[in-house]
Amino acid sequence: MNTPRPNRDRMPELTLHWGKAQPAVAAFVRSIVHNHHDAEDVIQATVTHIVDHYDEYDPARPFVPWAIGIARIRILHHRDQNKRKPLLLGDTALDALSNAIVSEAEQISDRLDALEHCLGRLSPKHQRLLALRYQDKVSRPAIADALGIRENSVSVLLRRVRQVLEDCVTRRIGGTTE
């Protein structure tokens, strides 16, 4: 039996979609399938199905619900194959949970997109400040040295930059452009 493969021209699109959907799909699967190894198997089966059937995906519709729907089917398949390891949730609860995760994933994705936009609008100094503190996990005294500012100014500056980001994300989510 030949397994369909997606058109190579759509692989970058698939990669982008999966990158945004993966946390929601993994959270959904892990909330239902509690054995770590079984959950990873279900996630892998989900990814394989998504890759094999990506040409069936309608790009006019949201990707995350489609991926969650596939994960739901893979979970049910896993349940049928592992009758000795019953799932704790019935079909109705499974549907409710999948709907909740889809809704949350879309909101999180919107907020992350807004945050990425807002981070790009910060000055290079403020971007460096955030990178030192949150990516590199540099101490406040070392940040002060790196940026040539007083140590007590680091906390104040971090607070101001976080407030700017919060305001920008709120405006962006609310539809107000800058």
How confident is the model over 162-166, as a mean pLDDT? 93
Least confident residue range of 65-74, 111-120, 155-164 = 111-120
Query: Rounded to two decimals, what is the model's pTM?
Result: 0.54
The tokens of 116 are what? Answer: 């990425």
Domain ranges of the chain: 1-110, 122-178
- 172 vs 84: which has the higher pLDDT: 172
Asked if the model's pLDDT at residue 96 lies above 80, the reply is no
How confident is the model over 81-104, as a mean pLDDT? 69
CATH 1.10.10.10 fits 122-178, yes or no: yes
Q: What are the tens digits of pLDDT across the range 47-76?
A: 999 999 998 999 888 898 899 999 989 998
Give the pLDDT confidence score for residue 59 in this predicted structure: 87
Asked if the model's pLDDT at residue 2 lies above 90, the reply is no
| pLDDT confidence tier of residue 144, bands split at 50, 70 and 90 | very high
Q: Does residue 35 sit in helix, strand or coil? A: coil
Its sign, for the CA torsion 11, 59, 54, 108, is positive
